[in-house]
Amino acid sequence: MLIVEQLLNGLQYGMTLFLMAAGLTLVFGVMGLINLAHGSLYMIGAFACAVVARETGSFALGVAASLAAAAAAGALVEAVVIRRLYARDHLDQVLATFALILIASEGMRWMFGSFPLYLTLPPALSGTVTLPGGLVYPVFRLGVIGVGALIAAGLFLLMTRTRLGARIRAGEADREMIGALGVDIARLYTVVFALGAALAGLAGALVGAVQSVQVGMGEPVLILAFVVVVIGGIGSIGGALVAAILVGMTESLGRALLPGLLARIMPTAEANTLGASLASMSIYLLMAAVLLWRPAGLFGVRA
């Protein structure tokens, strides 16, 4: 039961990472842009959800607000700042988007203060359910897994069955050619950036309901999102999904099992500390192993 529970925890954690990484890999793959401010859009979505849910008493409205706020912020940032960086080198992109992190963090602190906000789940999502085998598991975590699966299916259909998806894939392959064929590149980039921002905002809303909403919450998850993008392959939605689940499973199982295994050969307190550290390291060891095997990532294409 412990292993099954941790597998579900890893799947839930992986789905939230996928929501972050999907937008990041779209922006990176289509635009060639290193966007360090992606975590700030995650934070904006979480704050929008917390504030709207608190004022209206509706978690559903809060989630809708997270999508709208993050998408609007992403479109604004793309039009005002990011659009001027496409022709610049990656160092300029890193510096500019890092400045956006500082602006967003101080802006959230000015509007909402430094104290964390907490989301209250509706009764339908705050309980538990008994799964086959007798495992009692939170309903909300199962809901996150379901939402992640639906978003993954929706993105697959978007990319493979719609005209917008065809334009996004064409822009990733040869942006100059689709521009010559009459596609409005500026509008396409804005749509892609807003879509990626909305996914990040949704991830922030879901994670904020489990943890807390606070300034700076986007930076730690941004690092893991980049790890997912690298493992899965830049520009690959399917790769981001597989890599996010692998990362979630690796960390969840590592944190659950490593302290107990190490406790057999060392004191319990030291085993807990070392086990948590090794669990965090295991994600980067996984990334290194994948890159040694496939330098372009699991589903990446060699340039």
| Percentages of the chain per state (helix, strand, coil), in multiples of 5 | 75, 5, 20
Which 3 state secondary structure label does DSSP give 48? helix
Measured between alpha carbons, how far is 159 from 153 in angstroms, rounded to an integer? Answer: 10
How far is residue 238's CA from residue 164's CA, in Å, rounded to a whole number?
18
Q: What's the pLDDT at 49?
A: 94
pLDDT at 302: 52
Q: Does 257 fall in a domain? A: no
> Is 251 among the domain residues?
no
The C-alpha angle with vertex 17 and arms to 121 and 51, in degrees rounded to 5, equals 35
Secondary element (H or E) of residue 12: helix 2-31
Residue 11's domain comprises 1-215
**pLDDT for 44:** 94
Residue 281 belongs to some domain of the structure: no
Query: Is the pTM value of this prediction over 0.85?
Result: yes
Output the CA–CA distances (angstroms, integers) from residue 165 to 183, 191, 274, in the order listed.
Answer: 13, 11, 45
Contacts of 51 (CB under 8 A, 6+ apart): 62, 65, 112, 117
CA quadruple 220, 169, 293, 290: dihedral, nearest 10:
20
Domain assignment present for 289: no
pLDDT at 195: 92
- Is residue 33 in a domain? yes
| CB-based contact 28:160 (threshold 8 Å) | no
Q: Over its length of 303 residues, how does the chain's per-residue pLDDT go in tens digits?
A: 778 888 899 999 999 999 999 888 888 877 778 888 999 999 999 999 999 998 998 899 999 999 999 999 999 999 998 888 877 888 888 899 999 999 999 999 999 888 888 888 888 888 888 888 788 888 999 999 999 999 999 999 988 888 888 888 777 777 777 777 777 888 888 898 999 999 999 999 999 888 889 998 988 888 999 999 999 988 888 899 999 999 999 988 888 888 888 888 888 888 888 888 888 889 999 999 999 988 888 887 654
Q: Judging by DSSP bridges, how do beta strands 128-130 and 136-138 pair with one another?
A: antiparallel
Q: Where are the alpha helices (DSSP H) in 113-184?
A: 123-126, 139-161, 163-173, 175-180
Q: What is the total count of domains within the chain?
A: 1
Instruction: Name the token pair of 19.
Output: 């929501």
Rounded Cα distance between 256 and 70, Å, is 33
CA gap 105, 193 in Å, rounded: 20
Q: Are 297 and 231 in contact (CB under 8 A)?
A: yes
CB 11 within 8 A of CB 144: no
130 in helix, strand or coil?
A: strand
| Backbone φ, ψ for residue 103 (5° rounding) | -65, -45
Q: Which residues is 213 bridged to in the sheet?
A: 117
Instruction: With respect to residue 275, please indicate whether it lies within any of the assigned structural domains.
Output: no
Contact residues for 62 (Cβ-Cβ < 8 A; gap 6+): 48, 49, 50, 51, 52, 53, 56, 119, 205
Please report, as a single letter, which amino acid is at residue 256. Answer: A
Question: Is residue 152 domain-resident?
Answer: yes
pLDDT the model gives residue 183: 79
Q: Is residue 286 a part of any domain in this protein?
A: no
